[in-house]
Amino acid sequence: MLRPLTRSTLLAVVASVPALGQGFDPATGNAPIEVVIPAAIPAIFETVAPGDAPLILRTTTLLNNVWFDAIAPYHPTAIGVCSNLGRRPASEHTDANRNVAILYASHRMLDSLFPTYQQDWRDLMTSVGLDPDDTSTDLSTPIGIGNAAGAAVVAVREHDGMNQLGDEGNPLLTGRSDVGRPYWDHTGYAPVNTPYEIVDAGRWQPAILDNGYGIFRTQQFITPQYGEVLPFSLRKPLPILSPPPLASDPANAALYQQQADAVLAASANLTDEQKMIAELFDDKIASLGMSALFQSVVQGMSVEEFVHYDFLTNLAAFDTGIVIWREKRHYDAVRPFTAIRHLYGDDLVTAWGGPGQGTTLVPASQWRSYLPVADHPEYPSASAAFCAAHAESSRLFLGTDDLNWSLDVDAGSSRIEPGITPASNLTISFATWTEFETVCGMSRFWGGVHFEAAIAPGRAIGTAIGARAHAYLQRRILGTP
């Protein structure tokens, strides 16, 4: 019987990359799980994980995309998303070929996504016995297929609207990746509120962040241009699907106060389990990534099955994010901390008082959410949408709602309240994907970063796009238009 992996076990596996890389055998191994993911995660945490989902998701999705394209020629019918590299004879449909193609394709994409880490990616190739300088595009070899697949995806994605090279959106900068700022918002978003003044209490206000030692910074809406990015499974232009967030309009005074009070009540009544669940879902790699990895281990997936499943869940969330980002920009809705400050100013409110302070009386102007507030407007909830897309696409791919994922959480292992929370060891369990997405949505409310009304609309979008993404990937696998 398979013993379910815990989060800490999986993270430990992921942390042990050098040992894994050195013992990697392309004939029997799984290059994404054993080599590429463990190598990419530290780079992700050092670069894009200080922000939230869009950049993390784009990284993992584009890596999946090159894997999918790199192994398509070794499948009976699949055709790549950005490439059509022909089909190799059945005798070559081996994991040895797939893994080598995956590694060369990953090298191309990692160089593009993480240009300051190029020496690390060279070392990675060397560590698994491959020549980092082999840039062959001979499509009769796995090296050539990997290089060609990687280059094809890179060519599309370096100009997909995300402005990865800083040369999109401004005609003066076309071809000027030398002076442009990577990922710069070329859509001209500007908040109506400043960090210092609430001009419209229904709209987003950048939060002032600090490191506890006097270094203060103000948020910028993270990549507003994400709503304009090239999707996989969707056709543009995209409609706005969610109803307006009525309770976030201060003209609806009773509703406005009611939904803010509900956030304060949740803050005052936070349990250790809610805190740890909120932290889990705030970490997209630990929640979305690890639940998929867990299922792939439980199901004993082949390299090909893993790539298809992981790509599916990633592109489902990635496309969901495009729709959610358009809606976030459209509604530009207020976060709880602004509404609470607007309503109550310096009045004392009962709430969580900060790390280790428990429930106490806090001037409303000083209230903070348990989770750090993400760098974008509130409505609808992106996390709820990502979890729903992940759950729906998983259900369709795996043919069941069963998940049976269980995570051991050690006493004191909180990132927000280290050494304090949880007071004793606890276990977080998800019997089904439905439970996973439901709890995920609520965790954003518990964490104080969302009103409850933002959860259902986000979830609805994620579920719809999860199904679209599944249909889309089935077509790519079957090689039908």
State the residues that interact with its own copies by CB under 8 A: 47-48, 50-51, 54-55, 114, 116, 170, 172-173, 178-185, 190-191, 194-197, 206, 208-220, 222-223, 346, 348, 353-354, 357, 360, 362-363, 366
- Residues near 300 by beta carbon (within 8 Å), at least 6 away in sequence: none
Q: At closest approach, how far in Å is the CB of 223 from its own copies?
A: 6
Q: How far apart are CA 193 and CA 202, in angstroms?
A: 10
Q: At closest approach, how far in Å is the CB of 193 from its own copies?
A: 10
For the purposes of burial, counting CB atoms within 10 Å of the CB of 467, is it exposed (0-12), middle (13-18) or buried (19 or more)?
middle
Q: At closest approach, how far in Å is the CB of 384 from its own copies?
A: 23
Q: Which is nearer to its own copies, 76 or 363 (CB)?
A: 363
Of the candidates 88, 111, 107, the residue with the CA atom closest to the CA atom of residue 158: 111
Coil, helix or strand for 250?
Answer: coil
CB 247 within 8 A of CB 253: no
Q: At closest approach, how far in Å is the CB of 240 from its own copies?
A: 24
Q: Which is nearer to its own copies, 133 or 178 (CB)?
A: 178
Q: How far apart are CA 317 and CA 477, in angstroms?
A: 19
Q: Which is nearer to its own copies, 43 or 407 (CB)?
A: 43
* Axis-axis angle for helices 142-157, 53-71 (nearest 10): 140
Q: Which is nearer to its own copies, 68 or 183 (CB)?
A: 183
Q: Which is nearer to its own copies, 317 or 407 (CB)?
A: 317
Q: Which is nearer to its own copies, 208 or 478 (CB)?
A: 208
* Residue 474 one-letter amino acid: Q
Q: Which is nearer to its own copies, 214 or 237 (CB)?
A: 214
* Residue 169 one-letter amino acid: G
Q: At closest approach, how far in Å is the CB of 387 from its own copies?
A: 22
167-171 long-range Cβ contacts below 8 angstroms, 24+ apart: 168/225, 169/225
- For residue 134, what are the CA distances in angstroms to 87, 108, 147, 223? 22, 11, 9, 35
Q: How far apart are CA 238 and CA 252, in angstroms?
A: 29
Q: At closest approach, how far in Å is the CB of 196 from its own copies?
A: 4
Q: At closest approach, how far in Å is the CB of 122 from its own copies?
A: 15
